[in-house]
């Protein structure tokens, strides 16, 4: 069983990954939040966007290769698809990544997709910008304090388009504005029922 969790910055992916891994006895794969470019990126997105995204892509390719080599149940915090279709695409659209860099990035991404196993279930954590900002502030990562609301809204629009029009696979959506699984763990009961029905 391979489950991946997708969602915007601050939507709760890491927390849900921990909960699901503990509940199902699965191995957890977390996003690398120690990207050495991330602080520089939030200070100067135009200069560091390509470096940031290539680093994340490299880490995701390594994870994908490891996932392919393993048996058993896996829970992954963020997917390789989001790197390309959400973050890199948004940076290019905003003029913060040059067309040359974006095309180079996408060539590497396209080559890597052959290494990627599609999740048996994608859990999408949908959240409004006020919810995202609140959760970002609560976790208090210094480099995230400068993230602007309009940047998060652009990412949300990218996520909606990706889920509705691009991604081909099983999706379970949690509306984080209404389904706070920290305050009310029972909201996860339908998700656990869906997971229990997955092939092992």
Residues serving a catalytic function are: 77
Between CA 90 and CA 52 the distance in angstroms is 13
Cα–Cα dist 126/123, whole Å: 9
Dihedral (CA of 28, 158, 120, 195) sign: positive
Cα 195 to Cα 62, 76, 188, distances in angstroms: 25, 14, 10
CA-nearest of 122, 83, 126 to 4 is: 122
């Amino acid at each position: 069983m391979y489950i991946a969790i997708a969602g915007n910055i601050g939507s709760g992916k890491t927390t849900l990954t921990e909960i699901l891994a503990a509940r199902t006895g699965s191995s957890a794969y977390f996003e690398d939040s120690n990207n050495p470019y991330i602080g520089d990126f939030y200070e100067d997105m135009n200069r560091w966007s390509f470096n940031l995204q290539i680093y994340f892509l490299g880490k995701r390719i390594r994870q994908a290769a490891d996932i392919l080599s393993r048996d058993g149940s896996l829970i992954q915090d963020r997917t390789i698809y989001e790197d390309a279709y959400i973050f890199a695409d948004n940076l290019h659209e905003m003029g913060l990544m040059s067309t040359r860099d974006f095309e180079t990035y996408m060539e590497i991404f396209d080559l890597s997709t052959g290494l990627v196993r599609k999740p048996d279930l994608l859990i999408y954590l949908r959240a409004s910008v006020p919810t995202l900002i609140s959760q970002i502030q609560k976790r208090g990562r210094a480099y995230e304090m400068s993230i602007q609301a309009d940047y998060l809204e652009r990412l949300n629009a990218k996520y909606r388009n990706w889920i509705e029009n691009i991604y081909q696979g099983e999706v379970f959506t949690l509306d984080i504005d209404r389904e706070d699984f920290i305050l009310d763990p029972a909201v996860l009961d339908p998700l656990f029922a869906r997971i229990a029905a997955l092939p092992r």
